Amino acid sequence: MKIAASKSYELWDAELNKIYGVLKQNLSKNEMEALKQKQRQWINYRDSQAEEAFNSVGRGTMGPLLEMETKASLTKDRCYELVDLYMK
What's the mean pLDDT in 28-34?
Answer: 98
Cα gap 4→76, rounded to integer Å: 15
Residue 30 CB partners (closer than 8 Å, separation 6+)? none
pLDDT of 37: 98
pLDDT of 1: 78
Cα gap 20→2, rounded to integer Å: 26
Cα gap 82→88, rounded to integer Å: 10
| Cβ atoms of 65 and 2 closer than 8 Å | yes
pLDDT digits (tens, 9 = 90+) for 59-88: 788 999 999 999 999 999 999 999 999 998
